[in-house]
Structure 1
């Protein structure tokens, strides 16, 4: 059985290696595209969320910190 495996090794020559390299290249390109699209979506989602928060809360800071008591007069 082991000798059969060694007999098939020469059949995996340049054309087989080219096929493997082409598939690895395709997978790498696909992963790069997915990563780029995820980064673009994340950036767009963050910008959209930031714009929504700015519209819904127009003040830049609260009048006073909620954990501090009001000054007594």
Structure 2
């Protein structure tokens, strides 16, 4: 059973049937596509944070590797 969806474009107000982009103004209107793009953006931000954390360790981590620092 196929369900047709009519989605109103938030930019121009045109109703589109089963489209990812508006036929009139080419604005992204698919909720699934928007959700996937936000998820991908979130993952990219987390990867950037992880890379930054690895490249820039905190003071305690830097002191562990310092040749003149003594830990008992």
Q: TM-score range by the shorter chain?
A: 0.3 to 0.5
**Counting strand residues as a fraction of each chain, which structure ranks higher?**
2
Return the TM-score normalized by structure 1.
0.46
Structure ranking higher on relative contact order (CA contacts 8 Å, 6+ apart): 2
**Counting helix residues as a fraction of each chain, which structure ranks higher?**
1
